[in-house]
Chain A
């Protein structure tokens, strides 16, 4: 539930708005959490009201909105205010956005899971409509006419009969004195009158970005701050045995070295430990760090070896594992014999490698910490810094900067805790700057995964039984020791929610221990699950002698809503209510058909060495199909000519931003399909910078990326992540069509194709 209150006179935004401003506060916490967040069991206890979201209107007409979610490049800092502005009939040019501090009063601020728009669409509209209704009432009172004779239009209230007008700013003081109208009485704008929702808009920070304004965590500056570079234990769980810092201290500008304690398992978001070099400049800190001579005890993960671990994962999936979903009788069907197809797939660890490496400034003083950082989760920052320093989380203030990319890495505030620890130990504000090498070697990695697939094909070539097993070190290992199975969230990402109409189907998950930190990575488990399921669909089409597109559509079966009871009990649907966001195979079919049609599937004449591949995947409640077209060079290398991606993400707020996200997802997908891979030897990550952790460049990505947006009034769904999963399997299906070579492991550099 949400509650909207007029808080104009209550000083909630002191220092941000002026005294005469009209301010609405919105409480977003669900009723069940009401008592916890307000300290009162009574939701109507207004004295306990802690707003989560603010809409302010200044007497000069400036509309102020507080962005409580982090902006990492997915556009929510622009699209969420667009929704309020539209319903408020505000002039977008007069909207100013202020970034919120980390604070539990904002509700969940963890910006992940592609849910910012989906979770806040309704309350944003309500807030805008409430403000508009009150401004109309304020004008009507001034003119002594019924409110029903007045209407709001682009920052102005108009009395139709007399033609009188009043600007929003001039009504701020009067609106501030009015009660908030009951939710049931609000009238929302009809969709035909939407001014911003569904229309292309530029990024709110666009001009600041192209002119190089200080926006990011890397740009944060506090007077008197020192700079720190940290030599981390090369193996997870390693400890310093001895450190000779004499040469480091001779470097001009280096002031001191500081030991950081190793974490207490599980590592969670704690600092890794190691030795920090504190200096007057970033450069001096980097230089000094190179002169440290440290002897390490590498600890319990020193035997981690990616090749051996892969074999272990594959062995695991060749034997029965824990059943996550079962329908029909797969074993009985396999026992009947017939045509059996088996395949194994492998996807390595990946690192997020956002262009801005982890970086943070912290200032510890008198038991309190003030931090400035690019973080996806300022409240986790408060908790982590508080727990590492042994101070209450309320004593940690977290300023959220723009994030120079994040992709899930910056959900984990270990680097901010490092800055806080060092500030406390040095008594000065400290800026911790991770090098690219630190970023690649000390990531919370995307999980390595092995998948085993088996199907029995009937006389018509369609599967009568389907078995799939996956094994991967789960994200839960970061939070609890000995977590070896994927949870409902990970398995619900493209595994237990497999939408195919196969009568006998079983999805299993095998155990795997983590030896590096595992974390969320853009699209998470959908990447490896989607790769296996959609590649295997292509393999079955070939085994059945069918066109892969026709076969994929046949696998989807008749249009239907998959019943909630047919999904595991712990299937969480990314937190989306299943009634609002059921798995709808008609939407899967439509995006598949759309991508194929736009790509010219079956119509476009393909030359020698050319091929097309298709894949479809629902993730983050959004339906996405990709058709990739490739050409194999004389040397057997793949060149991606074109990708057509069809997207049904429900109602779209800012279509141009959605296109941008899906264009970017095709590039992100190209990198992980072609060339990105993290491996470990002796517990040490082998890659270090962009020469060996490769990301695609402008000359390596699809020459043409076409994004086709399906118009829909279904509830809004995610757009940041769901473009990634179908890309790699569509590409590998295209390579098979072009060359007859079936790719079962990523990246393609392993197969010599890239």
Chain B
């Protein structure tokens, strides 16, 4: 039995411990904001936080989350929208929107470690998240706007 916390709620899981966290979140908990995009950590659509760090939930087994706190897009703005979500809205970032939960979770992690990221910092950290619609320029602008809120 694996014990973990998801968005502040205690959970226990007795299924296949090798199952990627992504499918536990989506199929078992119904937290479908976290997306499947590639299954091999190449696109970032499945990004969630595990003990505050951005991870690719499509390749991280549930057992690796034992005793840890997992945060998904659904838990991000518990008390109203997170500043990064607000910045995403202010810049009207999404087109289809499918990758954006992963982008936002990655951006939140970036701003936590680097409150005022340079373009290079943004490139380095966000290069793991693909957006096929091509909203990168707005993603960059939204991250910079959210960083301003930090100052």
Across the A-B interface, how many residue pairs have beta carbons closer than 8 Å? 192
Compute how far the CA of A170 lies from the CA of B28 in the bound complex, rounded to whole angstroms: 46
Residue in contact with A219 in the complex, picked from B32, B42, B127, B131, CB distance below 8 Å: B32
Query: Contacts A283-B16, A698-B123 known; A705 to B89 CB distance under 8 Å?
Result: no
Q: Are A353 and B135 in contact (CB under 8 A)?
A: no
Residue of B nearest to A707 (CB): B137
Q: Chain A, 647-681, contact with B by CB distance < 8 Å: what is the 0/1 string?
A: 00000000011001101111110000000000000
Q: Are A355 and B45 in contact (CB under 8 A)?
A: yes
Query: Contacts A690-B43, A695-B132, A698-B127 known; A355 to B77 CB distance under 8 Å?
Result: no
Q: Are B98 and A281 in contact (CB under 8 A)?
A: no
Q: Are A355 and B132 in contact (CB under 8 A)?
A: yes
Q: Chain A, 399-419, contact with B by CB distance < 8 Å: what is the 0/1 string?
A: 000111111000000000000
Q: How many chain A residues touch B (Cβ–Cβ < 8 Å)?
A: 65
Q: Are B27 and A210 in contact (CB under 8 A)?
A: no
Q: Are B35 and A356 in contact (CB under 8 A)?
A: yes
Q: Is A433 an interface residue (CB 8 A)?
A: yes
Query: Which residues of B (66-82) have their CB < 8 Å from a CB of A?
Result: 72-74, 76-77, 81
Q: Is B130 an interface residue (CB 8 A)?
A: yes
**Residues of chain B contacted by A664 (CB below 8 angstroms):** 95, 133-135
Compute how far the CA of A284 lies from the CA of B16 in the bound complex, rounded to whole angstroms: 9
Residue in contact with B36 in the complex, picked from A213, A357, A405, A691, CB distance below 8 Å: A357
**Residues of chain A contacted by B149 (CB below 8 angstroms):** none
Query: Contacts A212-B72, A283-B16, A689-B42 known; A403 to B96 CB distance under 8 Å?
Result: yes
**Residues of chain A contacted by B136 (CB below 8 angstroms):** 667, 697-698, 701
Compute how far the CA of A55 lies from the CA of B139 in the bound complex, rounded to whole angstroms: 35
Residue in contact with A663 in the complex, picked from B16, B32, B134, CB distance below 8 Å: B134
Q: Are B134 and A203 in contact (CB under 8 A)?
A: no
Q: Is B26 an interface residue (CB 8 A)?
A: yes
Q: Is B8 an interface residue (CB 8 A)?
A: no
Q: Is A436 an interface residue (CB 8 A)?
A: yes
Compute how far the CA of A219 lies from the CA of B26 in the bound complex, rounded to whole angstroms: 8
Q: Are A206 and B92 in contact (CB under 8 A)?
A: yes
Q: Is A568 an interface residue (CB 8 A)?
A: no
**Residues of chain B contacted by A433 (CB below 8 angstroms):** 36
Q: How far is the CB of B23 from chain A (nearest CB, A)?
A: 4
Q: Is A331 an interface residue (CB 8 A)?
A: no
**Residues of chain B contacted by A528 (CB below 8 angstroms):** none
Q: Chain B, 74-104, contact with A by CB distance < 8 Å: what is the 0/1 string?
A: 1011000100010011001111111111001
Q: How far is the CB of B95 from chain A (nearest CB, A)?
A: 4
Q: How far is the CB of A77 from chain B (nearest CB, A)?
A: 11
Q: Chain B, 114-145, contact with A by CB distance < 8 Å: what is the 0/1 string?
A: 00000000111011111111111111100000
Q: Are A402 and B16 in contact (CB under 8 A)?
A: no
Query: Contacts A206-B92, A701-B136 known; A214 to B38 CB distance under 8 Å?
Result: no
Residue of A nearest to B122 (CB): A698
Query: Contacts A211-B74, A282-B26 known; A436 to B38 CB distance under 8 Å?
Result: yes
Q: Is A75 an interface residue (CB 8 A)?
A: yes
Q: Are A695 and B92 in contact (CB under 8 A)?
A: no
Compute how far the CA of A661 lies from the CA of B133 in the bound complex, rounded to whole angstroms: 8
Residue of B nearest to A701 (CB): B136
Residue of B nearest to A253 (CB): B16
Q: How far is the CB of B89 from chain A (nearest CB, A)?
A: 5
Q: Is B19 an interface residue (CB 8 A)?
A: yes
Q: Are A74 and B95 in contact (CB under 8 A)?
A: yes
Query: Which residues of A (204-252) have their CB < 8 Å from a CB of B?
Result: 205-207, 209-216, 218-219, 221, 227, 252
Q: Are A689 and B126 in contact (CB under 8 A)?
A: no
Q: Are B127 and A697 in contact (CB under 8 A)?
A: yes
Q: Are B89 and A690 in contact (CB under 8 A)?
A: no
Q: Is A192 an interface residue (CB 8 A)?
A: no
**Residues of chain A contacted by B140 (CB below 8 angstroms):** 698
Q: How far is the CB of B110 from chain A (nearest CB, A)?
A: 12
**Residues of chain B contacted by A283 (CB below 8 angstroms):** 16, 19-20, 23, 27
Q: Are A211 and B20 in contact (CB under 8 A)?
A: no
Q: Are B92 and A660 in contact (CB under 8 A)?
A: yes
Q: Chain B, 24-46, contact with A by CB distance < 8 Å: what is the 0/1 string?
A: 00111011111111111011010
Q: How far is the CB of B147 from chain A (nearest CB, A)?
A: 16
Q: Which among A227, A404, A433, A705 has the highest number of chain B CB atoms within 10 Å? A: A404
Q: How far is the CB of A209 from chain B (nearest CB, A)?
A: 4
**17 extra A-B contacts, CB within 8 A, seeds A253-B15, A281-B27, A697-B126:** A211-B73, A253-B16, A283-B19, A356-B37, A356-B98, A404-B99, A407-B132, A663-B138, A664-B133, A666-B134, A689-B38, A691-B42, A697-B128, A697-B129, A698-B140, A699-B127, A700-B127
Please list the 8 inter-chain residue pairs (A to B) with the smallest Cβ-Cβ separation, ordered nearest first. A212-B33, A667-B134, A404-B98, A73-B96, A212-B73, A664-B134, A73-B95, A209-B97
- Residues of chain B at the chain A interface (Cβ within 8 Å): 15-16, 19-20, 23, 26-28, 30-40, 42-43, 45, 72-74, 76-77, 81, 85, 88-89, 92-101, 104, 122-124, 126-140
- Residues of chain A at the chain B interface (Cβ within 8 Å): 71-75, 200, 202-203, 205-207, 209-216, 218-219, 221, 227, 252-253, 281-284, 286, 353-357, 402-407, 433, 435-436, 656-657, 660-661, 663-668, 689-691, 695, 697-701, 704-705
